[in-house]
Amino acid sequence: MILLWLILIPIIGGVLAWIFGKVNPLLSRWISLIAMILDLILAVVIWIQHPAQIALENQGGWLLQFQAPWIPQYGIGFYFGLDGISLLMVLLTAFLGVVSVLASWSDIRERVGFFHFNLLWILAGVTGVFLALDLFLFYFFWEMMLIPMYFLIAIWGSANRIYSAIKFFIFTQASGLLMLVAILGLYFTHFQNTGVYTFDYTELIGTSIPSHLAMWLMLGFFIAFVVKLPAVPVHTWLPDAHTDAPTAGSVILAGLLLKTGAYGLFRFVLPLFPNAAAQIAPFAMILGAVGIIYGAVLAFAQNDLKRLIAYTSVSHLGFVLIGIFAFNELAFQGAIMTMICHGLSTGGLFILVGIIYDKIHTRDMDRMGGLWESVPRMGAVAMFLAMASLGLPGLGNFVGEFLALIGAFQVNIPVTAVAVVGLVFATVYSLWIIQRTFHGEQRESWELPDLSIRNLAVMASMIIILIWLGLFPKPVLDTARPALQKIERGIIPISQVEDQTPNPGMSRNLSDNPLHIAEPVNHNSAEQEGT
C-alpha cells in the first residue's frame, strides 16, 4: 500500500487544502507542506529500507509492487511498481514538492486554496507517472498532470498567461494523443499474438511486432516524450510556459514535468521497442546535440531573465537525450544524474527569479545590475547555482554531464564533440547572468530585501544536495544501476542482433529479434507488495 499512499497523500492533501483555504489561506499552505513532507518521508524510508536489494545485481527487479483489479474485462488494473529509476524520480518529486510549496508561501495571495489543490494534484500525477506499470493507468496520470498545470499558468501566471497555458496544453495534449494511439496499437497487437487483452507493462514487453509496425508504435511514444522533454524543434511551448508560470509552476515544469519525458524514454521506448529505438538512436542523439547548441545560442538572445533560464533547460536536457540513446550504462547514469541535478539547480534559479520579480516587478536584465551590494546572500546563492548549471567540477551537474559525454563518446564521437562545445556556451551564459544581474553598475535604484530565512533554508537544502551529488554520487548511481543494466541488456543494436544468442531469462521477439528481460509477476494475486 505504500506506493498507493505516495499518490493518495497529495491527492487528499490537495482537496483538504482547497476546502480549508476558503476558511484561512494559511491552513491551505500548511496542509500542502505537511502532505509533501509526508510523501518525502515515505520515499526516504523506502530508500533506507531497501539498500541491499538496490545494491544487488538482481536484473533490475522491482523493489515494491502494488496490484489490484480495476476493469479486468479490458485488461486494466491498478498496477504500480518501484525500481531504482522510479525511486529516484519519486524522491525528486517529493523534495521539489516541498520546495514548491515553500517558494509560493507568500507569493500567492489570491485563491490560495485552489492554487494548492492544483499544485498537489500535479505532483500526484507526476508521482503516478513514475510508478504506473499499467499503460492505461500511465496514460491517465500523464493526462492528469496537464489540467492542473494549465490552471496554474492561466490563473496565477503573468502577462501572457492565457496564451502560454493554451500553447502548453495543445502541445502536450496533441502529443499525448499520439501516445494513446500507440498504446492501443500495442494493446491490440498483443491480443492478436496471445488472445489476451492487457495493458500490463510486464506482459507487453516481448510482444512480437512486425518491424514496420514497431517503428510506428515507437514513434508514437517517442514524439510524446520528446515534446515533454522537450527536444528541438518541438520545444517552443517551454519558454512561454516558463516565462508566464508562477514560481512554483516553473519549478515543477523544470524539475519534474520535463523529467517525465526522459523517464518515458527509459521506461517505455527502449524496453518495448529496442530495435526501433536502435534505428533512430543516431537521429535522437543529433537532436540532443542540436538542442544543446540551439538552446544555448537562444539563451544569449534573451533580456528576460526567466526566459533565458528556460532556454538553458532546452540546452541541458540535450545531454539527457544523448545519454539515453547512447545505449550504455555510463551514458544512462549520466542522463539520470543530469535529470536530478538539473531539477535542483534550474529550480533554484527560477525561485531566485521569482523573488526578484516579486520585489522589483521586472525580469529585464537591462534594468538590473549591481544587485550584489544590496542582496549579497542572494548573489552568493545565484553564483553557486550558476556554477552548478555550467557543470563546475565538484557539483552534481558535472557528474551527470561528464558521464553522459563519456558514454556518448563510445558510440558517436561527432555528436559528443558538438555537445562539448555546448559546455563552453553554458559557461559563458551562466557567468553572463551573474554579471548582468548582480555585478556592474546599478542601472536603477532598487530597494530589494535579501533572502528570508525560509528562502535561505530552501536554497541551503538544494546547495547541500548538489554538493553531495558532486562529491559522493555513489548512492544515487548504485540505486539506478540494476534497472539501467536491465535496460542495457535488453537493447542490442541491429548490426549486432544476428550475432547474439538470448541469455537465460530473456525472451526473443520473433519478428524484430530484440532481447527483453522477462520479469516474473504473480498475476493471480489481487494485491501484492514486496521486493
CA dihedral 358, 360, 364, 367 (to 10 degrees): -170
Band of residue 54 on the pLDDT scale cut at 50, 70, 90: low
Band of residue 368 on the pLDDT scale cut at 50, 70, 90: confident
In the predicted model, is pLDDT for residue 505 greater than 70? no
Grid cell at residue 444 = 536603477
Q: Tell which residue, 169, 186, 187, 266, has the closest CA to residue 226.
A: 266
Q: Per-domain residue ranges for the chain?
A: 2-517
- Report helix, strand or coil for 28: helix
Q: What is the pLDDT of residue 415?
A: 95
Across the range 137-161, mean pLDDT stands at 93
Across the range 329-354, mean pLDDT stands at 95
Instruction: Summarize the chain as % helix, strand, coil (round to 5).
Output: 70, 5, 25
Strands 515-517 and 76-82: unpaired
In the predicted model, is pLDDT for residue 75 greater than 50? yes
For residue 63, give every residue at least 6 positions away whose Cβ sits within 8 Å of its Cβ, in sequence order, or none.
Answer: 46, 50, 53, 54, 82, 83, 84, 87, 531
Grid cell at residue 248 = 512554483
Q: How far apart are CA 359 and CA 90, in angstroms?
A: 33
In the predicted model, is pLDDT for residue 38 greater than 60? yes
Chain CA centroid to CA 320, Å = 10
Look-up: residue for cell 521586472? 362
Q: What is the pLDDT of residue 56?
A: 55
Q: What is the pLDDT of residue 227?
A: 95
Neighbours of 23 (CB within 10 A): 10
Span 172-206, pLDDT tens digits: 999 999 999 999 999 999 999 999 999 999 999 98
Strands 76-82 and 64-71: antiparallel
| Cβ atoms of residues 51 and 32 within 8 Å | no
Q: How far apart are CA 531 and CA 231, in angstroms?
A: 35
Lowest mean pLDDT among 55-69, 78-92, 322-336, 447-461: 55-69
| Cβ atoms of residues 146 and 173 within 8 Å | yes
The one-letter amino acid code at 455 reads N
In the predicted model, is pLDDT for residue 500 greater than 50? no
Across the range 463-476, mean pLDDT stands at 95
Grid cell at residue 141 = 496520470
Band of residue 33 on the pLDDT scale cut at 50, 70, 90: very high
Band of residue 55 on the pLDDT scale cut at 50, 70, 90: low
Band of residue 224 on the pLDDT scale cut at 50, 70, 90: very high
Lowest mean pLDDT among 28-37, 202-211, 395-404: 202-211
**Greatest CA separation for the chain:** 73
Q: What are phi and psi of 511, to 5 degrees?
A: -90, -40
DSSP-assigned letter for residue 515 = E
Neighbours of 26 (CB within 10 A): 12
Band of residue 410 on the pLDDT scale cut at 50, 70, 90: very high
In the predicted model, is pLDDT for residue 254 greater than 60? yes
Q: What is the pLDDT of residue 382?
A: 93
Q: Tell which residue, 179, 172, 199, has the closest CA to residue 264.
A: 179
Band of residue 80 on the pLDDT scale cut at 50, 70, 90: very high
Q: What is the pLDDT of residue 18?
A: 95
Q: What is the pLDDT of residue 489?
A: 82
Span 255-303, pLDDT tens digits: 999 999 999 999 999 999 999 999 999 999 999 999 999 999 999 888 8
Q: Tell which residue, 415, 380, 476, has the closest CA to residue 87.
A: 476
Grid cell at residue 369 = 545590475
In angstroms, what CA-CA distances link 8 with 36, 112, 293, 513? 11, 21, 41, 40
What is the separation, in whole angstroms, between the first and last Cα of the chain? 13
Across the range 504-511, mean pLDDT stands at 32
Q: What percent of the chain has pLDDT over 70?
A: 91
Across the range 76-99, mean pLDDT stands at 95
Mean pLDDT, all residues of the chain: 87
